[in-house]
Amino acid sequence: MPICSVCGADHDVYRFNVHKYSFFDTNENDTITSHIATGNPVEAHLVSSHWHTDTLCLECAKHVWGVKQDSSESYPEGYSYEPYPAKFYYCIGCKAYHIFPNAFAWSEPNSLPDLYSGRFITVYTSGRGNRTCNLPPYTTASFVPYCNHVVACSNSYHNGSLAEALGKDIDVCSFCGRYVISDWVRTDFSGASFLCYDCIDTSTVCDGCGDRIHLYDVFVDNSTDETLCESCYDSRSHGSDDEYDEDDEDCEEYIKNYNYKPSPIFYSDEDNDSKFHKDSMSTKQPYFGVELEVDQTSSRRARIEPTDMAKKLMEEIEEFNDRFYIKYDGSLNNGLEIVSHPHTYSQHFNTSYWRQIFTKCIANGFTSHDASTCGLHFHINRDSLGNTREERSDTAFRMVLLTEVMWNDFVKFSRRTGFHYCSKHNVWEKKDSFDKFKDKARSNLSRYNAMNISNPNTVEFRLCRGTLNFTTFMASLQFTYMIRLVALTLNNVAISNSTFSLFIETANRLGFREFLSYCKSRGFTHSILDSIDSDSTTPTEAS
């Protein structure tokens, strides 16, 4: 009697072909070489795939990576094989099935068979894999490989059984950390490190510090044409001695380097937080960390140095140093970034700190909205998005879904005209299931997404343009608050069929008058807004 090789079931068991590895020989096929040079997937007919025939039950077969039906098998009438999501893989090194590290995110508690979950690796020769969701690169909807690679556990790499099974040596790329067949690695310029072909094509070396960086993260010093990492560019953007000198004690005391990140201090308001975070809500209290960029323009009054502005804020606003800190930001002309420690919504709203910050910045010739360089970003603690890892992940993806479904209205609200640092994921199709949407969104993650979910501890909403107007600032914070709330409350189907009116109605229910006033000033229409007085100073910052 055949049994399932994954779970041991003895019913509904059939033969399937399970992927072992795929190879192609670039020395004999220039077409494949051209695919690799452009980063495009290799067509299936150019790849030699090797398969392992095994017996699997119909349920496990749906979740084993790289499975396809066996043409000699007679499956149940009407049976359609649509595998998703991948939970198991076959390791050719130890010749056994393993559980993907994130399989529990896709499964009911205690529903997975008792399989060894060795640390997952993939061995590539080309193509960028999606390590977030454990899928090798360039697969069809049926997870059939279109590229040279093998899926295996790390033990089989370390004990040599993987190399023995493949008949090829394996190295580790020093930049991306992927396991790469040795034929497809080269040493870097120092001769000390191995780089895979992808990283050779898509990375460079910072002319400032010598670290290797991805081309997407390159900053160019226009005065020298040097390519720099963000940290080096940040230092040089204030490069004259009188503007920014790392040895200047005032600079170090008042303005931190862009990479500075202290341990967070959480500020709550016991008397008012419960008005918004109801006891009936099972998630943890949401906290909001704010990043506000301020800059100077030639049309404003005479400039003062960012260090002097930082000093004024720190010395003239009580508790500023406890609740805020200031950093340089290389994207600004002659400005700085004001960063808050995590505060609850009530703490941000009911204290006077932001009003004082706005007043002092405007009085000293700084702006935010009127400078095209400035953004306003909100971080939300991930543990407020659900009680389990899966719940928190799904809520984060529903927040992404909201930005996708209502992108045009979100942009209208944001006042943004450029989106280099807050891009759309641009993967949503209404016909897609939520699981498929998540899979596609994972393949396009960037810290510069409008809804940045790549941070381990927070979700960051980056779309809003900077402002020194308190109504606009609070409207933006209230908007962020509601994005989290809606993502917690509605499922993906409801979100996919919603309009921006949902936020106006939610704001009316919560008493977010600043949001409603701002929406009316931005030209949104809804019967609720008819009786609302708009804030005429919202679009600009009259000083």
Q: What is the pLDDT of residues 466-518, one digit of tens each?
A: 999 999 999 999 999 999 999 999 999 999 999 999 999 999 999 999 999 99
User: Do 273 and 152 lie in a common domain?
Assistant: no
Same-domain status, 264 and 387: yes
| Per-residue pLDDT, 129 | 39
Residues 132, 273, single domain; the answer is no
417 vs 451, more confident: 451
Q: Which of 128-132, 257-261, 453-457 has the lowest mean pLDDT?
A: 128-132
Residue that finishes a domain, picked among 153, 184, 215: 184
User: Averaging pLDDT over each range in 1-10, 139-148, 228-237, which range is the top one?
Assistant: 1-10
Q: In this structure, is residue 212 part of a structural domain?
A: no
CB 71, CB 130: distance < 8 Å: no
Over pLDDT 90: what percentage of the chain? 40
Mean pLDDT of 215-236: 70
Query: Are 169 and 260 members of one domain?
Result: no
pLDDT at 44: 54
Determine, yes or no, domain membership for 505.
no
- What are the b/e assignments for 138-162, b being 16+ CB within 10 Å? bbeeebbbbbbbbbbbebbbeeebb
Tell me: pLDDT of 198 over 70. no
Convert 356-389 to b/e letters by CB count within 10 Å (16 or more is b).
ebbebbbebbbbbbbbebbbbbbbbbbebbbeee
Residue 538 domain flag = no
Same domain, 255 and 381: yes
245-296: pLDDT as tens digits = 444 445 567 888 877 888 889 999 877 887 766 533 557 899 999 999 998 8
pLDDT value of position 428: 92
26 in a structural domain? yes
Q: Which residue has the higher pLDDT, 177 or 159?
A: 159
Q: Looking at the domain assignment, is residue 531 inside a domain?
A: no
What is the per-residue pLDDT for 299? 52
149 and 286 within one domain: no
Tell me: do 141 and 269 sit in the same domain. no
Residue 301 resides in a domain: yes
Could you tell me the CATH number of the domain that includes residue 460? 3.30.590
Q: Which residue has the higher pLDDT, 35 or 58?
A: 58
Same structural domain for residues 340 and 477?
yes
Verify that 273 and 161 share a domain, yes or no. no
Tally the domains of the chain. 2
Whether residue 140 is contained in a domain is answered as yes
Rounded to whole angstroms, what are the CA distances from 447 to 62, 392, 455?
33, 18, 8
Q: What mean pLDDT is predicted for residues 151-168?
A: 89
- Do 178 and 274 fall within a single domain? no
Which residues form the domain of 33? 13-184
Final residue in a domain of this structure, among 163, 184, 205: 184
Residue 226, domain member (yes or no): no
Question: How far apart are the two ends of the chain, measured CA to CA in Å?
Answer: 83
For residue 287, the model assigns a pLDDT of 95
Residues 6 or more apart whose CB falls under 8 angstroms from that of 112 comprise 87, 99, 103, 104
> What confidence score (pLDDT) does residue 466 get?
93
Domain boundary among 184, 200, 226: 184
The answer on pLDDT for 445 being more than 80 is no
Q: What is the mean pLDDT of residues 107-128?
A: 73
- Whether residues 49 and 160 share a domain: the answer is yes
Residues 253 and 155 placed together within one structural domain of the fold: no
The pLDDT value recorded for residue 351 is 92
Query: Which pLDDT score is estimated for 49?
Result: 77
